[in-house]
Amino acid sequence: MFDIKTPEPDQLLNREMSWLEFNQRVLNQAQDTSNPLLERVKFLAITGSNLDEFFMVRIGSLQILIGSKHERPDVTGFRPQKLLQVAGDRVRRLMREQYDCFEKLQTTLRHHGIAQLDPEQWTRKQTVFLRHWFDENVVSVLSPVAIDLQQNFPLLNDSEMALAVQLDWQPEQMLGGDWKTDLSTLADDQRPSRRFAILPLGRKLDRFVNVPVDGGHGYVLLEAVVKKFVGEFFPGQAIRDCVAFRITRNADMRVDEDGAFDLLHGMQEILAERRESSCVRLEIESGADPATREFLMQCLQVDELHVFETAGPVRLKDWFRIASLPGFDGLRFDAWSPQESPHFSVDRNIFDVIRESDRILIHPYQVYDPVVRFIEAAADDPDVLAIKQTLYRTSSRSQIVQALQRAAQNQKHVTAIVELKARFDEERNIKWARSLETAGVNVIYGVRGLKTHSKICIVVRKDPDGLRHYCHIATGNYNEATATLYSDISYFTCNDVIGSDAINFFNAVTGMSIPQPMQKMSMAPLGLRQRILEMINVEVQNAASDAPSGIRLKVNSLVDPMIIGALYKASQAGVPVELNVRGICCLRPGVPGLSERITVTSIVDRYLEHSRIFYFHHGGDRRVFISSADMMARNLDRRIELLVPIEDESCRRRLLEVLDYYFQDNVKAKRLMPDGSYVPVPTSDQEFHCQKQLYRYAVQQRSEQFSAETSMFHPHRRDTELGIFS
């Protein structure tokens, strides 16, 4: 390994603060009036969802460090308590922008016939309708929980909305004058002047209540309806205050794999613990009575650092529902229908297609169907002997999982590595693991101490000339739903060496054996970081000898100090380094003497950028890789990841074209400054919109293929193997 100097604290951007800047860029899309209105609403909902995860994981982690008296600063010099404060201040600034954006969107939505109606706007007819709806749907479903003097607070689910109701104390209205405590024994000046009740709103009632309006779409928020008629739960009692709130619980919990006899059981225990974990954020509507606010803080055992007032409705992520309202297509992006690949025609045997040549698909611009067909064909093909596959995140109705079940039922050897530790997908993966086992699949629950994050499927098939390993390796999950929303790369090959590496990979993971050296691929945590560092070092050496050099990396996150240090060294040696980092980036670009030859851009657009592509000039022998790994310590040290070289010239050329698109974007791209801020990429006379160009290319490819197909006659021929005409 070549000598790498660990970056000093002031040479790195803080991870948490960089993540918040990413969410700011998502919010910028909600603020961008050039985006269609409902797409802006969707981006705003994404910022809410992102912040939820930030608190559950990153703030939850800080809270654990603080609770354990951890005082050691991180690599950027922040101690946990200070970072909690700084991050909280940044979140509050972000929230102010969120709710300012929310109000502007509400105004514009009303102009387009989508109106959220507040109680003061209800007509008499709407009030009567909502009162009837409340009586029919709410009164018998919701149950208030009175809080006694011991503050017997109800267990609220993570992110569950509730109302805090403050009432005047009227002891003569209580049965027998008793309220959990015999108040008759208290002096008048000791009796409470007010009491509280919590009204959980649950998840079964729709938050958006449709109301009759003259044209367009009108809705009222559930909490507004319940607040309006909340007196029905407390007849004869004076209500001083009624505000909506919710809590966010710490989700940064890990199963003790050394002490867990059964990982499946251990994960179920973790899920149960999350339901009762500590509160890391209390969100409450602004304008709450100070006594209500203080009451909630005491009950939930949080201080001011963990309290966040909202200048509007809590839980903004619910506005995904409004963004997906039917009948308003004119307020959305023009539809980009995924295009069929010119190579994967449905009337061709998919194994013949892969045997002809390696193939690349660019999702979601090209359909995900060939990936599903690959596994379905393997399940039904009598010549297929075995299927081995990793599953990290899957869809709720996964055709791929169903195909694996069918393959096992068809007496094929099927092995699935189902990662139970995939955060927030644990329950779904437990369900799929059990159903796969029931079907006869050999299920492996990941690897002790590591997450299996690689995305690979091997089909072992008996071809006329012998056994062959057909591989699909990807940057994205085997999830048909997110494949239409995330930009990812699929790579199909039956290269003998790649196939041999893939078999060694599965044997090591499933057989608890010592991993054998790989010939082409690299695997984390054993050799992936080393391979990247070696490739960077080649560029450093070439630049030192005045030979051409260059590095281009497209990743989701760049955090690992060793990789950052190597890139700094490359810059200092004269290597031009171009980075496209969607989210967190701890590298400071453009610092004289340190990183002046490094540029970092980020693209936030209609599709979530998820693919990882690495390019090294390598003395003109261009090296291109795809990977499941980001440049983070967790990926390189605590996950099983794969780095795969793309050596087929056609596939390599296509990926280089894709990289060109990403580094040409001047419509959605933002450039990272040395201080951690982002600015728009300078525009030229001609706009270049990366995602739009990728889609146009896919359309062009399909159009050219269609023209070629319609200009030729294709006679039916007898299939000698199946005995039918094809």
**391-414 tens-digit pLDDT:** 988 888 899 999 999 999 999 999
Report the CATH number at residue 234. 3.30.1840.10
State the residue range of the domain holding 411. Answer: 350-520
131 shares a domain with 280: yes
451 shares a domain with 323: no
423 shares a domain with 380: yes
Residue 224 pLDDT level (bands cut at 50, 70, 90)? very high
Q: Mean of the per-residue pLDDT values for the chain?
A: 89
CA dist list (Å): 592 to 58, 546, 666: 32, 21, 25
Taking the chain, what is the end-to-end CA distance rounded to the nearest angstrom? 56
pLDDT (0 to 100) of residue 270: 47
Asked if residue 183 has pLDDT above 70, the reply is no
267 shares a domain with 377: no
Give a yes or no: residue 438 inside a domain.
Answer: yes
Question: Angle 12-17-23 (CA atoms, 0-180°, nearest 5)?
Answer: 130
Residue-wise pLDDT tens digits, 33-73: 999 999 999 999 999 999 999 998 899 888 888 888 888 89
249 shares a domain with 383: no
Asked if residue 174 has pLDDT above 80, the reply is no
Residue 222 pLDDT level (bands cut at 50, 70, 90)? very high
Residue 433 pLDDT level (bands cut at 50, 70, 90)? confident
Question: Which residues are designated catalytic?
Answer: 453
Would you call 552 helix, strand, or coil by DSSP?
Answer: strand
483 shares a domain with 599: no
pLDDT (0 to 100) of residue 25: 98
Report the CATH number at residue 566. 3.30.870.10
pLDDT (0 to 100) of residue 166: 94
370 shares a domain with 311: no
Asked if residue 443 has pLDDT above 50, the reply is yes
Last residue of a domain, one of 496, 520, 544: 520
Q: Which residue has the higher pLDDT, 335 or 268?
A: 335
> What are the structure tokens assigned to 348, written together?
């061709």
Asked if residue 600 has pLDDT above 50, the reply is yes
Give a yes or no: residue 473 inside a domain.
Answer: yes
Residue-wise pLDDT tens digits, 297-318: 999 989 999 999 999 999 999 9
Last residue of a domain, one of 520, 537, 556: 520
Burial letters 61-92, b for 16+ CB under 10 A, else e: bbbbbeeeeeeeebbbebebeebbeebbebbe
DSSP class per residue in 590-606? T-TTTTTTEEEEEE--S
- Mean pLDDT, rounded, for 344-373: 96
Give a yes or no: residue 127 inside a domain.
Answer: yes
Give a yes or no: residue 627 inside a domain.
Answer: yes
Backbone torsions φ then ψ of 723, nearest 5 degrees: 70, 25
> 3-state SS of the chain: helix, strand, coil percent to 5?
40, 20, 35
Would you call 409 helix, strand, or coil by DSSP?
Answer: helix
Phi-psi bin for 341: left (phi > 0), alpha (psi -120 to 50), beta?
beta
Give which of 92, 106, 115 is closest to 310, Cα–Cα. Answer: 92
* Contacts (Cβ under 8 Å, ≥6 apart) of 145: 154, 197, 198, 199, 200
Residue 192 pLDDT level (bands cut at 50, 70, 90)? low
State how many domains the chain has. 3
Judge contact between 190 and 227, C-beta under 8 A: no
Q: Which residue has the higher pLDDT, 599 or 718?
A: 599
295 shares a domain with 396: no
Give a yes or no: residue 341 inside a domain.
Answer: no
DSSP class per residue in 485-502? TEEEEEEEE--HHHHHHH
Maximal CA-CA distance, the chain: 100
Last residue of a domain, one of 487, 520, 553: 520
pLDDT (0 to 100) of residue 253: 54
Q: Which residue has the higher pLDDT, 460 or 202?
A: 460
531 shares a domain with 511: no
How far apart CA 6 and CA 256 sit, in angstroms, is 31
Give a yes or no: residue 66 inside a domain.
Answer: no
Give a yes or no: residue 42 inside a domain.
Answer: no
- Strand 451-452 relative to strand 442-444: parallel, antiparallel, unpaired? unpaired
515 shares a domain with 546: no
490 shares a domain with 405: yes
Q: Which helix (H) or strand (E) holds 388?
A: strand 384-391
Give a yes or no: residue 238 inside a domain.
Answer: yes
- Mean pLDDT, rounded, for 225-250: 93
356 shares a domain with 317: no
